[in-house]
Structure 1
């Protein structure tokens, strides 16, 4: 700080001590911040944006634009569509399977018979098209593309129940249904269609009766209605404390994917130009004439092996098409950045397994599997748990069977094993050593322990009725021991 600044600080301190004190504190804070190069303001950090906004304010006003861009990328950019399919197939797969948890096996079977008819059939869908597994697929796909999705409970009574096992259906809604024009409801604040209580809890959602961008418009103005939070499931990924709204998962990589797509289009045009070979005929102006120009027609119909005579005095020079270099390396690095930004592996995004061995493939899968498990908890905790709450409420109100307290457990789809022999052997050893439970291992493989227990009991009863010897399960050697024993026997032979 120069003598001018010191003189100014001394002058302000004499006239206004409080202001002078604030200037000194601010100057010290700035000095501490300058110890970090990233906090400095200069040429290297020019253009960096660091607004002091909370999680929801960061996307306020631009959330709709982000959704539209993300949807367009999924429609028209192959790698965006592929990334969405990778996330959906790994998180949901064939479906996150619900199962009834109850102490009485007979009552458990009766409860599950009712729930199966409602949850695992299109009766669950308000449009009569999707069962629970298909809805899970739409939910995680929409969360990926739009950042969030709404599931609305539709109560069905009387003739609208249509012989439903339980008196409710689920309607999946895009967040375009949120009425962003409402700013308050009594003492509650409404932000982007979501109504918050004075303590910050979500109390209701203000939803349009039709999609604002629907092709089938009834001509009437859009009218929104207030829907209690009890009838809405708001599924989204929460990345920051206090975050209540979601953003598309492609948001961090949109620019990279757009630039990559533009680069690919330019390279395709360049390849087309490289495939063109043109000949330029030049001649002295004294030798040029109409008859000579007519003789050039043969050059325009060059074919392999053709011999064409050029006019007298003419010289033919061939163009040099551009060469395409560095294309694979550039695309590979950019696709690696895109896959990392989304949270999947480059191999799963591109389908390119060249240069991948067992160790590298397993390491990449392990990292991706952790992300998949987190996303599965998102679907189970926000969607499946909400559906369970609606099921229990409908069960108590309708008294389908004598009131029974039960819970639902959810099993994620099985994770494909890279080396089944060694991995299953390791699971068996973990159970035998007491560091894992058999039920947890079964759920890891995407299996329902209760179903396995029932089927094993059925197998045992049927074998007994057929006078078949029981299959020895306990004491079976592990796969590794069996292979070792086979090797020893082979050597001895």
Structure 2
């Protein structure tokens, strides 16, 4: 007797037991998830998810607040470079030239390089990915550096383009791969498929070498090629909650309007002069303040009495928003701006967990995929354009490219206790001043130079300021216990 693999697995599972999640009993009978690879699922549903996510950001306050909070914490005022060139004078020249270029980095001239970082963080949150194209410029364009960045949204790379190119390479979801799986090119649309203001031919594509494209994506599965919106797990609940809120608001509006309904045993009688018909051809009467309206014989007036939402409205909203905040990876308070349910201890714990996630994202996505690629291309362009002289650059390129990226500083929850704890860690040798300054988004050499310049200026002007602040001692173990309790 031949037994199918599915039936065999069911029999073995029923006999052995083991993992309840693998059984097909009554409770799990309808739980039949797709076994398709994430690339297949993204190709089928990705564009719709992205469109819905963009709609929510444009129309839903919670979604708009969540993405602004995410971008503000990931990028803030910018993740800034600190060159590791040992020659201090040469390092200062590089940093100064970079600072001038950041103002010209955006090909659309809307913002600077750090503003592009923020826009990238927003796009990856909404669409799961974003692209930047290096745009070399001519010397006569008058830029500090003949290089700019052009942002390309996810929709510009056709996700359903899968074919074999004439050169034998494989194109998958708009990305061209060579024989050993390396990305060699991207096939972008010349115009956004949803932008009807662009007169260029719809559907026309252009092949751009992979060396000219920065693809920023936060992959969740092995082998994933394209991104998926971070809203994916929360779109349904957020949209339905938005509809529920609208219905509640409309119910309150109707209740406040003191709606009246007139019933009559003779509905076919002609209308009076004060009456009319609405767009649905229903009888209406325009009531005015203090107006006395005579009803026809047999007619009576009934008032609308919509039911109250009772005590369940706010708890239901709170619990639903908690699920949405978990799906988006954003703390409840950052999603809803509701601080009433927060206290010092749980706010600090939520903040510390959120910061760990943010730091991982900053390193793995923004710095690794965007900042490092841009810095390397910028350095190469600066040397080729003669904007800066770096001796033996070709042989020492890796050394010159060495750079630390400093994210924006985290604000202290309790400035006095946090500052004292920081000082005690430095004095105990648990961390260095360089590390402490880097965590606040500052370059140690630059800070020391500024302090030295300040001291020299104060001395020359005969000024004297306190050089130390007496802070009350804080027992680190006690402070830690206070937080966990």
Shorter-chain-normalised TM-score: which range? 0.7 to 0.9
C-alpha distance in 1, partners of 2:444/2:307? 63
**Shift of residue 335, structure 1, vs aligned partner:** 0.8
**Shift of residue 81, structure 1, vs aligned partner:** 1.0
**Shift of residue 437, structure 1, vs aligned partner:** 1.8
Could you say if the C-alpha distance between residues 49 and 412 of structure 1 is closer, same or farther in structure 2, counting changes exceeding 3 Å?
farther
Question: Quick check: 176-185 or 205-214, which moved more?
Answer: 176-185
2:66 corresponds to which of 55, 73, 83: 83
Q: Does 1:321 align with 2:325?
A: no
C-alpha distance in 2, partners of 1:241/1:142? 22
Which residue matches 1:464? 459
Q: What are the Cα deviations for residues 203-245 of structure 1, in whole angstroms up to 9, with x where unaligned?
A: 2111122222223333435332222221111111122223232
C-alpha distance in 2, partners of 1:219/1:344? 40
C-alpha distance in 2, partners of 1:299/1:283? 18
Could you say if the C-alpha distance between residues 49 and 425 of structure 1 is closer, same or farther in structure 2, counting changes exceeding 3 Å?
farther
C-alpha distance in 1, partners of 2:16/2:457? 75
C-alpha distance in 1, partners of 2:265/2:196? 66
C-alpha distance in 2, partners of 1:280/1:57? 55
Which residue matches 1:168? 147
Alignment RMSD: 3.3
In structure 1, list runs of 5 or more residues that go unmatched. 1-7, 13-18, 482-493
2:426 corresponds to which of 423, 431, 441: 431
Q: What are the Cα deviations for residues 429-478 of structure 1, in whole angstroms up to 9, with x where unaligned?
A: 111111122122222223332321221121122123334458545xx543
Question: 1:182 touches 1:190 (CA, 8 Å); kept in 2?
Answer: yes
Higher-Rg structure is: 1
**Shift of residue 87, structure 1, vs aligned partner:** 0.5
**Shift of residue 417, structure 1, vs aligned partner:** 1.2
Task: Map residues 113-124 of structure 1 onto 2, 5 A cutoff.
Answer: 113-119=96-102, 121=103, 123-124=104-105
Q: Does 1:251 align with 2:241?
A: no
**TM-score (norm: length of structure 1):** 0.81
Q: What are the Cα deviations for residues 71-120 of structure 1, in whole angstroms up to 9, with x where unaligned?
A: 1111111111111111011111111122322212222112222111112x
Question: Quick check: 41-50 or 387-396, which moved more?
Answer: 41-50
Question: 1:276 touches 1:321 (CA, 8 Å); kept in 2?
Answer: no
1:350 corresponds to which of 311, 330, 336: 336
Question: 2:145 touches 2:382 (CA, 8 Å); kept in 1?
Answer: yes
Which residue matches 1:3? none
Question: 1:33 touches 1:40 (CA, 8 Å); kept in 2?
Answer: no
Could you say if the C-alpha distance between residues 233 and 281 of structure 1 is closer, same or farther in structure 2, counting changes exceeding 3 Å?
closer
Q: Does 1:234 align with 2:215?
A: yes
Q: What are the Cα deviations for residues 23-62 of structure 1, in whole angstroms up to 9, with x where unaligned?
A: 9975675457853222222442244342223332331222
Which residue matches 1:58? 41
In structure 2, list runs of 5 or more residues that go unmatched. 276-284, 392-399, 475-485
1:417 corresponds to which of 398, 412, 435: 412
Task: Map residues 215-234 of structure 1 onto 2, 5 A cutoff.
Answer: 215-234=196-215
C-alpha distance in 1, partners of 2:320/2:129? 26
- How many aligned positions are there? 449
**Shift of residue 283, structure 1, vs aligned partner:** 10
**Shift of residue 317, structure 1, vs aligned partner:** 6.5
Which residue matches 1:5? none
Could you say if the C-alpha distance between residues 302 and 284 of structure 1 is closer, same or farther in structure 2, counting changes exceeding 3 Å?
farther
Question: Quick check: 431-440 or 345-354, which moved more?
Answer: 431-440
2:188 corresponds to which of 189, 207, 230: 207
Question: Quick check: 343-352 or 390-399, which moved more?
Answer: 390-399
1:92 corresponds to which of 51, 67, 75: 75
Question: 2:255 touches 2:304 (CA, 8 Å); kept in 1?
Answer: no
Q: Does 1:373 align with 2:359?
A: yes
Could you say if the C-alpha distance between residues 33 and 146 of structure 1 is closer, same or farther in structure 2, counting changes exceeding 3 Å?
farther
* Structure with greater proportional helix content: 1
C-alpha distance in 2, partners of 1:166/1:313? 86
Which residue matches 2:278? none
1:440 corresponds to which of 420, 435, 439: 435
C-alpha distance in 1, partners of 2:325/2:27? 27
1:392 corresponds to which of 370, 376, 379: 379
Which residue matches 1:487? none
Could you say if the C-alpha distance between residues 49 and 33 of structure 1 is closer, same or farther in structure 2, counting changes exceeding 3 Å?
farther
**TM-score (norm: length of structure 2):** 0.83
| 2:227 aligned counterpart, secondary structure | coil
C-alpha distance in 2, partners of 1:23/1:357? 52
Which residue matches 1:138? 119
